[in-house]
Amino acid sequence: MSGTTAIRAAALVTITALAAACQPTVEDDAAPAGEPTAAATPSATAAPAPSASASPSRVTAANTAAVCAAVDKLIIAKSKEIAADSAAATRRQLTPEQINAEVKADLADLADGVRGQAARAEDPEIRALVSDAARRIDAGARSSTAVAWLGSTFVEIPQRLTRECRA
């Protein structure tokens, strides 16, 4: 039972941290508003050639936003799945080892999904950031105490992505 209690606590901590980490901040809302204004000014006053050079940065920004949003969705969905699995583990009376194995499998799946998003990223900095997140999630999947890793280290990953993964 103590293993089940541990996974419940870890799942609740993870869901709470993710909910807080994935919410846009005032800074997040302000950044996109500043970019279109800056991009629109040269386009409106310049010939079509400068407008074309402004487009690639918007394409990259759009791809970055899409990649970051997809990673957020993957993390939130997998965290919800882990929380639901922890509730089911209580009903099924799984051993701590069985629970740990389920968490490892969930983390490995998540790392694969995040790695796929990293491959889509056009911005090299975003690609590196998301790839690093996938590597860190892989480390959790390989951890002998994946449940403990989930409650301690995992919660830092979405917080970092929220701070650094933006268009």
54-77 pLDDT, tens digit per residue, is 444 455 566 899 999 999 999 999
Question: pLDDT class for 28, splitting at 50, 70, 90?
Answer: very low
- The rounded percent of the chain whose pLDDT value lies above 90 is 49
Question: 21-35, 88-102, 106-120 — which is least confidently predicted?
Answer: 21-35
**pLDDT over 90 (residue 31):** no
Q: What is the mean pLDDT of residues 81-108?
A: 90
**Which range in 5-9, 12-16, 61-65, 152-156 is most confidently predicted, on average pLDDT?**
152-156
| 93 Rama class: left (phi>0) / alpha (psi -120 to 50) / beta | left
> 140 is written with which tokens?
């959790």
Question: pLDDT class for 27, splitting at 50, 70, 90?
Answer: very low
Query: What distance in Å separates the CA atoms of residue 156 and residue 30, rounded to the nearest whole number?
Result: 24
Give residues with Cβ within 8 angstroms of 120, minimum separation 6. Answer: 63, 66, 67, 70
What is the reported pLDDT for 87? 84
Q: What is the mean pLDDT of the chain?
A: 75
**pLDDT over 50 (residue 123):** yes
**pLDDT over 50 (residue 51):** no
| Domain housing 32 | 2-164
DSSP state of 25: P
Q: Report the number of distinct structural domains present in the chain.
A: 1
Select the more confidently predicted residue: 109 or 48. 109
